[in-house]
């Protein structure tokens, strides 16, 4: 299993959003930075806290020139309900078979449990920050935003 680290090119991916539209990471290359965060499951306490923290800071991410993309193995329907329930303005993608999660090495506990890992990817597609913490969901937002604000 690969593990993407700072300095690596972020693996491209194409996944469907909550509306069934395809989103490709490479569509952002040369245009803006992207924060890609992998999380275990919609509507669980830690994941909800993390998503709502990204929501509450979303305008700060936009001001720093970045889009936020959350990825889990949940279905598009689950993402639709999750986004509506918590008024999430950013993109949620379904990686149902875990192909993208595996490409990024976003696992925890012996590579078996979906991890909570955030990547900050610059305009050129290079990973400039990686933060991995299953137990500090809100810290992912602070870490990513601080890195982006240093770039501006």
Judge whether 76 lies within some domain. Answer: yes
Question: What average pLDDT does the structure give for the chain?
Answer: 93
Judge whether 101 lies within some domain. Answer: yes
> Which of 25, 36, 47, 106 is flagged as catalytic?
47
- Stretch 85-96: mean pLDDT: 97
Judge whether 19 lies within some domain. Answer: no
Q: How many residues does the chain have?
A: 152
Judge whether 40 lies within some domain. Answer: yes
Judge whether 138 lies within some domain. Answer: yes
Q: What is the pLDDT of residue 62?
A: 97
* Structure-derived torsion over alpha carbons of residues 28, 12, 102, 100, reported in degrees to the nearest 10: 60
pLDDT band for 92, please (50, 70, 90 cuts).
very high
Judge whether 89 lies within some domain. Answer: yes
Identify the residue with better confidence: 133 or 13: 13
**Cα–Cα dist 150/78, whole Å:** 35
What range does the domain containing 131 cover? Answer: 31-151
pLDDT band for 69, please (50, 70, 90 cuts).
very high
Q: What is the pLDDT of residue 110?
A: 65
Q: Establish whether 47 is a catalytic residue.
A: yes
What CATH number is attached to the domain comprising 98? 3.40.30.10
Judge whether 61 lies within some domain. Answer: yes
Judge whether 11 lies within some domain. Answer: no
**What's the total number of domains in the chain?**
1
């Amino acid at each position: 299993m690969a593990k993407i680290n700072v300095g690596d090119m972020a693996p491209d991916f194409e996944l469907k959003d909550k509306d069934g539209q395809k989103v490709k990471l490479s569509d952002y290359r040369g245009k803006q930075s992207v924060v890609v965060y992998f999380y275990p499951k919609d509507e669980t306490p830690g994941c909800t806290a993390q998503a709502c923290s990204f929501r509450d800071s979303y305008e700060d991410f936009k001001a720093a020139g970045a889009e936020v993309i959350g990825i889990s193995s949940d279905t598009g329907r689950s993402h639709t309900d999750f986004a509506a329930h918590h008024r999430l303005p950013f993109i949620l993608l379904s990686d149902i078979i875990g192909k993208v999660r595996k490409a990024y090495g976003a696992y925890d506990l012996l590579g078996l449990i979906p991890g909570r890992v955030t990547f900050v990817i610059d305009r050129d597609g290079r990973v400039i920050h990686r933060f991995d913490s299953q137990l500090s969901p809100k810290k992912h937002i602070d870490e990513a935003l601080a890195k982006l604000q240093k770039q501006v």
